[in-house]
Amino acid sequence: MTPTTSAVLCRYRYDPLDRLASTSPAGQGAALRFYCKSRLATHIQGAIRHTIFGHDEQLLAQQKHSVTGNETSLLATDQPGSVLHGVSGAGIESAAYSAYGYSDAENGLDCLMGFNGELRDPVSGHYLLGNGYRAFNPVLMRFNSPDSLSPFAAGGINCYAYCSGDPTDRTDPTGAVWKPVIGSLGKVLKRLQRQAKPLRSESASRRSEFMDNQKATVLSQYPALSNRKISTFSREFASFSAANEIDPFQVLSIGGADDLVKVSGSYPRRFVFTSKSELLVDPSMDLERRSINHAILASYRSPGSEVISAGMIARPKPNQVVLWNDSGHYYPGFSTLQPVDIRLSTWGVKVERVRIGNSSL
């Protein structure tokens, strides 16, 4: 057979900082990219220039300049940053995405950015995450190349997986390490608080009276949470045990306000609160490290005890702790954060609770 002649569809060029600087599709002019820190700010191809406006990681608007004039669109995104609507003088345009970012090329939205606020390569249809570091294929729902941080570092065991198989709760803007949609608390609390239902304010005396009553009540009043993934627990624990032999794990037991210094910073960490009044925290800032989860955290440190609260904890300020009810194994309701709130408040710690999900419980 006569070999098929290959053709170059596009050339990709990078700058000294290893960022994608330009793309040159066959038969078209080069498309130039300009960045502000780690985010794309301007995209120029021929006579068309797109300028992206945003604050931190939040996209706000796009301005398109061409020979026919300027057109400005205000952008509406979901929590991970995917552009859902564009509002301009011409009207409202909309787009929709699958969980892994697939979207019809003719979705009607004239916006440079798309899924999770990333620019899709028009030639391949892939998202070149990390400013060109790795190509994510939304059709195959995986990366095209392996992660250099896999399998033993932060990249996880599956070196091709996108967000460790959970694209709805995680994003991967760098193409190297995923992060929770809620992100680091220093930037994300403003966004979460707009969706969170604020707790009713109470007078100091009423709250003090409530706290005193709660102290006198045994923890058995709080129902135990059930592991919704009990069928896979044995396999998960075996994976954790194997990783623990290489990278030994030590649970943080928080017994007072002074112990909270061990969880300082805006990075979220897993916690469980047991029927034995134990507040146990996974010290790892890398949530994929050692393949640990909430169920393993409780069983490893306090076997036989019941879990009455589970979620994430962070300490962005010395006397402030933020809790939110996020656990893929226990699916805790918002009210399950109450015993942890009470315990921390008795230590003089200011507690902020954030509701995850739509449950009123």
* Inter-axis angle of helices 204-215 and 338-346, nearest 10: 100
**Long-range CB contacts (< 8 A, 24+ apart) of 50-54?**
50/112, 52/112, 52/113
In the block, tokens 């970012």 appear at: 101
User: Average pLDDT, stretch 261-282?
Assistant: 87
206 domain residue, yes or no: no
pLDDT per position as a tens digit, 33-69: 999 888 899 999 999 999 999 987 789 999 999 998 8
Look up residue 62 and give its two tokens: 């796009």
> Where among 157, 180, 203 does a domain terminate?
180
335 domain residue, yes or no: yes
Contacts of 179 (CB under 8 A, 6+ apart): 170, 171, 172, 173
pLDDT at 170 over 80: yes
pLDDT per position as a tens digit, 285-299: 666 666 788 998 888
What's the mean pLDDT when you consider all of the chain?
83
Helix ranges (H only) for the chain are 129-132, 185-195, 204-215, 233-246, 294-301, 338-346
User: Average pLDDT, stretch 122-132?
Assistant: 91
pLDDT at 216 over 70: no
Per DSSP, 111 falls in state -
> Is the pTM above the cut of 0.75?
no
188 domain residue, yes or no: no
231 domain residue, yes or no: yes
In the block, tokens 């003719």 appear at: 106
318 domain residue, yes or no: yes
Identify whether the C-beta of residue 57 lies closer than 8 Å to the C-beta of residue 64.
no
Look up residue 215 and give its two tokens: 């102290």
Same structural domain for residues 242 and 170? Answer: no
Our count of domains for the chain comes to 2
280 domain residue, yes or no: yes
232 domain residue, yes or no: yes
pLDDT per position as a tens digit, 61-83: 999 999 988 999 999 998 888 99
Q: Which domain holds residue 276?
A: 223-354
167 domain residue, yes or no: yes
Same structural domain for residues 171 and 22? Answer: yes
User: Which of 26, 24, 20, 25 has its CA nearest to residue 38?
Assistant: 20
User: Could you tell me the end-to-end alpha-carbon distance of the chain, in angstroms, rounded to an integer?
Assistant: 67
Give 215's pLDDT tier (boundaries 50, 70, 90).
very low
> Where among 158, 180, 202 does a domain terminate?
180
Does the bond joining 268 to the residue before it have cis omega, within 30 degrees of 0? no
pLDDT per position as a tens digit, 308-356: 999 999 888 888 899 999 898 999 998 899 999 989 988 999 999 988 8
